[in-house]
Every structure is written in C-alpha cells, then in structure tokens.
Structure 1
C-alpha cells in the first residue's frame, strides 16, 4: 500500500509542480468562500492533497478543496456563527466517515448514482458558488446562504463599487482568455490572480489582509450537545459529497491514463486526508478534476505527483503568505465565478432537448433542490425518483412480454402440441426478472388476455431468473382466479431460486401443477383437455409439489 512507483519520477515531479501552481489561487479562493479564510484553504489542499495521493486508489489524481465541499462548509459556517473549532470537527468526522465507507466497500454503490442526478447537483453547486460571489463582485459582503445572498442582491445593485466589479470581471476574462501558449508556463487562474492583484494596488478595494505564516496548530475535535446533530449531518454530507466528487474525478483519470482505479481504497485515502485536514485547521477536500487533468497532461501518472503538488503548496505557505495578504476579494470572487461556471454541466444542458424529457426534468429538479433546499435532500430525492422511474420502465417491459401470448412456439414439437389444443390452453410467458413493479398489474393482464374457452392456463417461467414476494403474491391471485373459473393452472420452467420464492407463497396450493419445462406442461395440458369428465389424468408431473 505504501510502495511508490518511481519509474515516471520526472513526469510526476513536473505534473506535481504544475498542479501545485494551478491549485494555489483555487485553494485561496475556496478557503475564503468557506468563511474560514485563505490559510484554511491552503492547509486543506496540503493535507488532502498529500495523504489522498499517498493512501488513495487513483495514482494520478490531485485532491484538494473543491466547490461542492466549500458550499457545504459555507452553509455550516453560517449555521454555527463562524465557530471554526466545530467546523473542523465536522471535517474530521467527514474523513472518518469516508474511511468507514471505504472499508464497507460503499464506493461500488456510489458509482450507481444516475447521471441526471449527478449533473443536477453538480450544476446546482456551480450555481450556488456563482450566487455567493455576486455580492462580492459588486463590492459588498452578503449574508451567508444562497437565499440570503439572493435577497441581498437588490441592496448590492443599488450601491455598486465599480472598481471592485471591474476588477472581478477583468479577473474572470483573463482566467478564460489567457493564451494556451502562455498557459504552459503560467496557468490562466494564476495569471489572473497575479495581474488582478497588481492592478488592485492602484485601486481602493477590500483585500485579504494579514495572513498567518508558518506551520498550522493542531485543532482537536470539539463536541457540544446543542450542535452535535448539525455537525454529524454536515459531516455525513461532506463525506458523501466528497466520495462522489472524488470517484467522478477518478473516472476521468481512468479515461485519460487507460487505468482502473480502486474506488474503496480511494475513499480510504480521501478519508485520511480529510481527517488530517480537520486536525490542522484545513477545509475538506476531494478529487479535483481540473487539477487532475493538468497533472496528467503535464506528465504526472503516479501518486508522487499528488504528493509533490502538496509540498509545493507547503513551501508557499512557509514563505509567501505576506504576499498573499494583498490579494483582493474581488479577484478571488472572479476566480470562483469561473469555478462555478466550470462545474455547471453545460455539455448535458446543450443536448438535453434531444434526450428523454424525464431525465432532463429530473436534472432540473435536483438542481433546484440543491440551490434552494440542500444537497442531501437533492441527491436523496433524485435517486429515489430515478429508481422509481427505472422500476416503472422494467415493469412496463415485463407486462409487454406478458401480453405477447404466443400463437406459435419456436420448438416444432411444442408448436405441434399447441396447435393441437385449438385454443383450449392459454400460455403466459414471463420475460426477465419479475418484481414488485409489475406485480400489481399481472393479475389484470392475465384476466384480460386469457382465452375464453381455455381449460388450462400455463405460466411459463423459463426466462425468469428471479422473482420477489410481490410477484409471487400476484401469481397467487392468478391461481385463485383460475380455480374460480374452473381452469387448471400449470407452472413450468421455474429455476430453483424462483421455485423457492413461489413455494413459500403459493405453489403448494392443490390446484397448481408444476413441470420442469414447457414441453411436459403442454403434454399434460393435452391430456387434460381431451379427458372425459369421469376420466383421470395419469400423466405425472416431473417436479409436482
């Protein structure tokens, strides 16, 4: 677990240096946006960046503060009236949660979150970041929270600081329009930070002010009964959000490096990084897509690159903090607006009208809940709605298969038997897993499609790998209806797993006959429909219960 690959040492050092330079302005800006200050952003970038690289499961990934994590921290900062010790406790707990997730192998399930849900909450987070920075661009310090920032916007628009606005917009333009040829040497975000700070020296705009230098002090966890539930909730949201954010970035890294990450090990690495970040007064972090892409394109492939990136930031903390004190709030706000715009899923929004309307509606719902309610509600509602929609689609397919009453069969011998019965037998062939989604309508469809003169009804489970209790109860309803109508019910083709569920619910009913295959069921049906009233059928079921 601790073995380092030095086969690409030069590329890893180059990638780590470049990623560290790119991370500097983002760490400062996200630290300020969290409410805990620029140094908290840098400490978080150092701790999460180093330990997630050392212990994580994605060798080329660069980790540090990200927009989604900062949105949660900013809300927590407002809820706790800026009590930093309690916020760092939440960060520590979030790291512990992630370590637990890793050992419980939760990473395999996080990847199952549907894309519209991911797109919706990521776009919502981007929108929140932009909303929170609008007031700062106008030269004001808005109250915490998305609703508070939006409510304050008319007041800020009535008293615009045009120097601040111009500086912020200029920073945003430089960050977007910085030439790619120069970007190889100085990344656009860093160039915007430097140029914006130099220009601000001739203006009267709010700056970060004095920033502490040197190594951080240890922040021990603090627990208060009145805030314990709030901290636990925030820690859990941070853990889940960081896990999703990191594993999405891991998928990007996999595509670029043609490798496969270890999702559960990645969660453990992220958890260790966040735990250490909270202990040294840093904000929570996760896998950062842009910084990871920069690292890989600069030659970084292994975990050494992420560790070098963190050491670069540590060197800056130890030596350049006084210079960072001159950075204006408006410059950081401009950089954060770019971060927010980059997080919004523009690629999906441009193509959404071509895809299913339900998926787009789900994405918009999750986006709105993210912005105006909270992240955990947005993701929870999104996943539940997506799951229900999937169950509905599967149920529709199951019922469509059930409606296809065969007029002929593929096997010539079986087809000859069916033809000889001349409409006196109804066959219902189920297709795929039979679950609760279709159970409610199975009885109705059988009643509506059974042939009026049929004496035998065959339920063919040959293509059914599994059934649940709801489906078995539906079969029981069909059984009762068949017996009431004077029909013989035959079940055939059920495998051991399906039989086990059916036997627990209904197949022990004396009115049911069971066969291993459709051929034998048809032979029984032929004897049944051709017998005289006083004649007994001596054909014995292969596996009759």
Structure 2
C-alpha cells in the first residue's frame, strides 16, 4: 500500500487538529451510547485508523457519529446493557459493510444530486454553529439541535464574560491567522494552543476536565440466544447508516478537495474499522463530516491525516490526557463555529435565485430536515424527491418527442403517404427508451394528437432499444382504445427484446398488425385504406402482417 508523502506536514497538522477536536466528541458519544467514555475513545481510534488505512477517501476522518450512537443506545436499552452482545452487533456491522463494498453498493451514492449535497453540507454547518452557542456563552450544550436552541435564552441570561471573550477571540484568531503562517502552523491549531495557554495562566473558564486513560480489553463476539435477532437487526441498521454517513461525508470531502473518492473501497475500510472497534470494546463509527472538514481546513489531504488523528487519540488514551484536560471548551467552540461557517455552501446560496426554483426548494428542504430531523432522513427524502422530479422531467421530454408530424421524416415516400392520408393515418415515432414516468401519459397523448377521423394508428419502435412493463401496459391500453373507437393499431420496427416484452403480457402482440419498419407499415396502411374506400368497411383492414 503506497502512501503519499508530498503533503506530510499538512497531513500531520490536520490529523492532530482533527484528533483534538474529536476527543470531546468521542468521549461524549461514548457516554451517550451507554457504554461509557472509553468505548467512544476506542471506537474513534479503531475506526479512525483502519478506515483511513484501508478506505477510499484521502482526507476522511472517521469515528463515532450521532446516527450510529442513537442505534447503539436503543440496542443498549433493549439488551439491558449486555456489552458483549452490543460489541457483537458492531463487529457484524463491520462485516456487512465489507460485503457491501465487495458487492459494489458504494457506486450508487454518487447519484446524489448537488442540491441535496449542498443542503446537507449547509445543514451540517448550521448544526455545528447551533451546538456551539451554549459553550461560547459558558454553559454546557444540551443534546440535539432543538435542545441547544431552547437553552440559548437561559444561557444569555447568565453569560460567562471571560468564556465568551475567549471563544470569540479564538474565532477571530482563526479568521485572521496569516495564510503564509498557516503553511507551517494551521490557524485552528495555533488558536487552540494560544487559547489553552492563556486560559491556564489567566482565566477561570470551563475546560474539558478529567479524561480516562487505559488499554482496551479484547471482546469476543457472542452468537446465539434469544436476543440474536435484535443484534443482527441492529448490525444491519448500523451498516447501512454508517455507509450512508461515510459516503455522504466522502462527497463533502470531494467537494472541498476537488478529488474523487472510491466508494466501495471506502465501505471496505469502514467495515474493517468497525470490526476492529467491536473487538476492542469500541462503539461503531462512520465518516464524520465535521472532523473531516476540520482536517481539510487544517491541511490534511491523504490517509496519513486520518491515521494521525487516531494516533493522537491513542496517545491520549495511553496517558497524555492531562495535557488535553486543560483545553477550554470555549476555544473548541470558537474553532467549531469557524468550521460551521466554512461548511455552509455560500457559493450556491449567492447564486441560487438564478437557477431552477425546484433545485433551491430541494436544497432548503434538505437543509431544514438536516437541522431539525436527522441527516439520513434528510438525504433520503432529498434523493427520493430529486429522483421523482427527474423522472417527471424525462417523461415530459419523452412525451414531447413522441412525434406525430410528417415534416421530420427523412423518407420523401413516407412523407407523401402521410400527406395524402393526414386525416386517416396517425404516426407516432419514439425517439428513445420510454420510461415508466412517461407511460402514464402515453395513451392520453396518442388520443389527444390523433386526427379526428384517423382510421389507422402506427407506433414506430425503430429508435426504442428497450421497453419496460409500464410502457408495455400503456401500449396495450392504446390497443384497447383503438379497438373501442373502431381504429386499427399497427406496430413497426420492434426489436426482439421489445417484441418479447409486449408478447409477454398475454401471449400475443397487442396490435392488429406488425411490420419490419415504418415505411412498410405506412405502405400497408395506405393500401388497406384504399381497399376500405372501395369496400366501405373499416374492419377489412389487415390483422396479421409480419
């Protein structure tokens, strides 16, 4: 495995900064899971190191995340705190993620449209800022965005002046730190050091406090028993949530670094990391957007930064905790507010009014759901709505291209036939694949654009390579409508696949006649119409041409 050492200084400083920022989060999320602060630390170390080593996103920082902890906390309650079964679920989740990567599931996340990513990124930025408002004012931040917002009025009534000044000073230092100095010492790390030293000697402000240390114990998986179904179910949920969380963060990293991650490789790395975490008594983790952004903004670009971040946490766990205990919460809050402001997609927001309104509405919806619901639901809803909008747009274009005009035909003979029989023959030419979204309007379009007295409808499939079941049902509906109105339906230019789908509905082609190409169908229709004019009976039209 090759390592890119061209950005070694940036990777190390980015990893150190991300590690310091990840420390309180790992401890807090470990407590929230029910398994204790060190379970959060061990999870951050294992997932952070192995996901970086084997993953497919260079600057990605992985560790415990909110969605994963919610599942673990629910499992903890359901299993009455049986740690061995919970760690078994974490191990299984990692195995499932490796399988997802091997099976190529990761490629599908690239289909997420930009407005969804923009809303997700901006929502993350807003959440980070909201969660830091209380620490800036000198108070602990309640869990959840709504809880943090609800506590702001109380915090404002009892502001800790020194804490607020320290936090705002840290924020200002990060913003004003000269870029040329940042190549040697990143602004966030400089502000972290300066703020910690100042607070240690001159200020009485809340600090991180006591940090537990120690080596993990090996946790062997436990299989069988009446609770095994709950364990497997939780493992599947953890695997899916972790995959979504990680790959969405990979997209954010791509957007910031102008690179492209390897989705399936990333899933394999995340899976290995979670499996390792379960074995050493750590909670499950995923790609962490906030920590990844901290890393990138501090200079991290390659897998070395993620591994460095994990080694920083390992060093803390092994005994360097006393140094980190003195970091003021206000300093971290100031750094994180800058991170939140950087994540917000200001570039898109400035020009959003110039683009399609639907894209802006989708972005705002995902933003709101990210902040007030949760990340996975927000992205899921955004992707579904974007997909439906795209299907409708494509369907409209497909219906518009379902032509009934002789002017576009290349063959002069075909044009002449249609001109002579404009009121009797209605020709509809498909210009490509017909989606299920267009199928619903197909019958209505044919009825609406057929001449009042047309006696023959011709559907030309020459340019249609495939046909799905919805479109086949629509063709059958057209055939029924034609029969009820005394018209004949000719199909032309079908390939074997299209013909097989149409015939598969009820064992026969839903038409009165089929022809090899459009010209042959037009000639047959004109000949039949002339014979009808002589005989005077429309039912005399052909019913079995091949």
TM-score (norm 1): 0.84
The answer to whether 1:241 aligns with 2:244 is yes
Q: Is the 8 A contact 1:132 1:146 kept in 2?
A: yes
Q: Is the 8 A contact 2:56 2:264 kept in 1?
A: yes
1:81-123 CA-partner distances (Å, limit 9, x unpaired): 9979598777555534422321231101111122222222232
Judged with a 3 Å threshold, the aligned counterparts in structure 2 of structure 1 residues 44 and 141 are, in CA distance, closer, same or farther, namely: same
**Structure-to-structure mapping, 1:209-248, within 5 angstroms:** 209-218=209-218, 235-236=238-239, 238-248=241-251
Q: Which residue of 1 aligns with 2:331?
A: 331
**Structure-to-structure mapping, 1:52-451, within 5 angstroms:** 52-58=51-57, 60-65=58-63, 70-72=65-67, 92=91, 94-201=93-200, 202-218=202-218, 235-236=238-239, 238-248=241-251, 251=254, 255-256=258-259, 261-278=261-278, 279-281=280-282, 284-286=285-287, 289-290=292-293, 293=296, 307=307, 310-311=310-311, 314-315=314-315, 317-318=317-318, 320-402=320-402, 404-451=404-451
Judged with a 3 Å threshold, the aligned counterparts in structure 2 of structure 1 residues 163 and 310 are, in CA distance, closer, same or farther, namely: same
Other structure's SS at 1:11 match = coil
Q: CA deviation at 1:197?
A: 1.0
Q: Which residue of 1 aligns with 2:512?
A: 512
Q: CA deviation at 1:392?
A: 0.9
- Structure 2 portions without partners, runs of 5+: none
Judged with a 3 Å threshold, the aligned counterparts in structure 2 of structure 1 residues 447 and 510 are, in CA distance, closer, same or farther, namely: closer
Distance across 2 between alignment mates of 1:424 and 1:220: 79
Distance across 1 between alignment mates of 2:21 and 2:207: 16
Judged with a 3 Å threshold, the aligned counterparts in structure 2 of structure 1 residues 280 and 172 are, in CA distance, closer, same or farther, namely: farther
Judged with a 3 Å threshold, the aligned counterparts in structure 2 of structure 1 residues 276 and 173 are, in CA distance, closer, same or farther, namely: farther
Other structure's SS at 2:16 match = helix
Distance across 1 between alignment mates of 2:347 and 2:400: 34
Distance across 2 between alignment mates of 1:192 and 1:533: 96
The answer to whether 1:11 aligns with 2:6 is yes
Q: Is the 8 A contact 1:25 1:190 kept in 2?
A: no
Q: Which residue of 1 aligns with 2:22?
A: 27
Q: Is the 8 A contact 1:17 1:312 kept in 2?
A: no
Distance across 2 between alignment mates of 1:428 and 1:277: 61
Distance across 2 between alignment mates of 1:467 and 1:442: 13
Judged with a 3 Å threshold, the aligned counterparts in structure 2 of structure 1 residues 91 and 133 are, in CA distance, closer, same or farther, namely: farther
Q: Is the 8 A contact 2:60 2:250 kept in 1?
A: no
Q: Mean alpha-carbon deviation: is it higher for 521-530 or for 482-491?
A: 482-491
Q: CA deviation at 1:481?
A: 1.9
Q: Which residue of 2 aligns with 1:495?
A: 495
Q: Is the 8 A contact 2:94 2:239 kept in 1?
A: no
Judged with a 3 Å threshold, the aligned counterparts in structure 2 of structure 1 residues 433 and 211 are, in CA distance, closer, same or farther, namely: same
Q: CA deviation at 1:407?
A: 3.7
Judged with a 3 Å threshold, the aligned counterparts in structure 2 of structure 1 residues 132 and 96 are, in CA distance, closer, same or farther, namely: farther
- Structure 1 portions without partners, runs of 5+: none
Distance across 2 between alignment mates of 1:263 and 1:409: 46
Q: CA deviation at 1:389?
A: 0.8
Distance across 1 between alignment mates of 2:424 and 2:374: 60
Distance across 2 between alignment mates of 1:83 and 1:140: 30
Q: CA deviation at 1:332?
A: 1.7
1:390-430 CA-partner distances (Å, limit 9, x unpaired): 11111111221125533451122322333343532111112
1:148-205 CA-partner distances (Å, limit 9, x unpaired): 2222222112111122222222222222222112111211111111111112122221
Distance across 2 between alignment mates of 1:419 and 1:388: 39
Distance across 1 between alignment mates of 2:510 and 2:435: 25
Distance across 1 between alignment mates of 2:246 and 2:391: 26
Q: Is the 8 A contact 2:28 2:40 kept in 1?
A: no
Q: CA deviation at 1:15?
A: 4.8
The answer to whether 1:483 aligns with 2:483 is yes
Q: Is the 8 A contact 1:405 1:429 kept in 2?
A: no
Q: Is the 8 A contact 1:45 1:63 kept in 2?
A: no
Judged with a 3 Å threshold, the aligned counterparts in structure 2 of structure 1 residues 136 and 76 are, in CA distance, closer, same or farther, namely: farther
Distance across 2 between alignment mates of 1:498 and 1:254: 45
Other structure's SS at 2:111 match = coil
Q: CA deviation at 1:313?
A: 5.2
Alignment RMSD, CA only?
A: 3.6
Distance across 1 between alignment mates of 2:156 and 2:246: 38
Q: Is the 8 A contact 1:97 1:239 kept in 2?
A: no
**529, 532, 535: which is aligned to 1:533?**
535
Q: Is the 8 A contact 1:35 1:77 kept in 2?
A: no
Judged with a 3 Å threshold, the aligned counterparts in structure 2 of structure 1 residues 460 and 395 are, in CA distance, closer, same or farther, namely: same
Q: Is the 8 A contact 1:29 1:38 kept in 2?
A: no
Distance across 2 between alignment mates of 1:435 and 1:172: 52
Q: Mean alpha-carbon deviation: is it higher for 346-355 or for 277-286?
A: 277-286
Q: Mean alpha-carbon deviation: is it higher for 522-531 or for 422-431?
A: 422-431
Distance across 1 between alignment mates of 2:183 and 2:479: 73
Distance across 1 between alignment mates of 2:487 and 2:332: 77
Q: CA deviation at 1:510?
A: 7.4
The answer to whether 1:48 aligns with 2:51 is no
Judged with a 3 Å threshold, the aligned counterparts in structure 2 of structure 1 residues 375 and 308 are, in CA distance, closer, same or farther, namely: closer
Q: How many residues align?
A: 527
Judged with a 3 Å threshold, the aligned counterparts in structure 2 of structure 1 residues 240 and 262 are, in CA distance, closer, same or farther, namely: closer
Other structure's SS at 1:428 match = strand
1:106-144 CA-partner distances (Å, limit 9, x unpaired): 101111122222222232222222222212221222432
